[in-house]
A and B are shown apart, each in its own frame.
Chain A
Amino acid sequence: DVKVTQSSRYLVKRTGEKVFLECVQDMDHENMFWYRQDPGLGLRLIYFSYDVKMKEKGDIPEGYSVSREKKERFSLILESASTNQTSMYLCASLRSGRALTDTQYFGPGTRLTVL
């Protein structure tokens, strides 16, 4: 079974803090994704990566950055946390994305509260 793990289930930070969210997958998947999920807005893609050291902006990258130094690990960084970044953050991985049978696997999510 594919396992996608996230470093924290719940996190409380203060405005202006630098925040690191870590995601690790154990199936050697090429693609990894960070989403945020908010009521009424659904899942919105922040950043994704299709290879080590590669990253692509998603739909809402402002205020975020990412790091992928190793294939299995994809980190989301909030350089200076703000209250509007309070949300559920979901990480996902996908083998290649171009194969008809590829399915995306999700981590359990991190609920971040910024005070």
Chain B
Amino acid sequence: KQEVTQIPAALSVPEGENLVLNCSFTDSAIYNLQWFRQDPGKGLTSLLLIQSSQREQTSGRLNASLDKSSGRSTLYIAASQPGDSATYLCAVNRDDKIIFGKGTRLHILP
């Protein structure tokens, strides 16, 4: 059974620093991996999607990597800003089911 783990559960970082969020999964047979952002009381917004054959994807200050063999993904945020404060979730997609991690709650300190 696929399990997705995100560590740490919460992280506080001073504004301007670069940071890395981690995601690990137990079954490497996935179609893709996705990183989402969730603001308090809101739905999820997709940030980046990495196909199983890809190693990384970039969007602005965000870079996501995927290492299927080790069952790991990272989300790198460069030059963090207070507006980056949110919960970040990763999810793996296999067949018609998508399995989520519990998320990392990120707080950027002004």
Q: CB within 8 Å of B: which residues of A?
A: 4, 31, 33, 35, 40-43, 45, 48, 50, 56, 88, 90, 92, 94, 97-109, 111
Are A101 and B98 neighbours in the complex by a CB distance under 8 Å?
A: no
Residues of the B chain whose Cβ atoms lie less than 8 Å from the Cβ of A99: 31
Q: Write out, one digit per residue, whether chain B residues 39-70 have a CB within 8 A of any chain A CB (1) or not (0).
A: 00111111001011100000000000000000
B49 to chain A, nearest CB (A): 5
| Tier of interface size on chain B | 20 to 34
Are A111 and B41 neighbours in the complex by a CB distance under 8 Å?
A: yes
Main secondary structure of the interface of B (DSSP, over half): strand
**B72 CB–A CB distance under 8 Å:** no
**B93 CB–A CB distance under 8 Å:** yes
| Given A94-B98, A101-B32, A104-B46, 4 extra CB contacts under 8 A | A97-B93, A101-B49, A109-B42, A109-B43
**B89 CB–A CB distance under 8 Å:** yes
Q: CB within 8 Å of A: which residues of B?
A: 31-32, 34, 36, 41-46, 49, 51-53, 89, 91, 93, 95-98, 100-103
Closest to A58 in B: B97
- Given known contacts A42-B102, A106-B45, A109-B43, is B52 in contact with A100 (CB within 8 Å)? yes
